[in-house]
Amino acid sequence: MDGHPNRTARGYAGIRIRNGTDIDVDGGTVSGEFFITRNIPVDALVVTEGSLLIIKPSELVQIDSKLTPTARFAMKAYFGKRMFA
């Protein structure tokens, strides 16, 4: 498991860094940083892909089948085993 520096001084906290094989590109690699932000008004968010879905943590199990592999990775990194409890 890769670690990630805590960046709370900038207003967000790192959860995990992911480096690995890009399954969509032969011989390719992928890198990603996953983080949590807090205290940002919903109307200040700009969603560039898909749409914003706001749910309670207890409702995660209901949407698991709709999550992309990357979203599932990030959610499990944050919630761990509690995600599907």
Q: What are phi and psi of 33, to 5 degrees?
A: -120, 135
Distance CA 85, CA 80 (A): 10
The per-residue pLDDT for range 33-57, each reduced to its tens digit, is 888 888 888 888 888 888 888 888 8
**16-50 residues labelled b (16+ CB within 10 A) or e (exposed):** bbbeeeeeeeeeeeeeebbbeeeeeeeeeeeeeee
19 domain-assigned? yes
Owning domain of residue 21 = 8-84
The per-residue pLDDT for range 1-20, each reduced to its tens digit, is 344 444 444 567 788 888 88
32 domain-assigned? yes
Q: How many separate domains does the chain show? A: 1
50 domain-assigned? yes
74 domain-assigned? yes
pLDDT band, very low/low/confident/very high, at 82 (cuts 50, 70, 90)? low
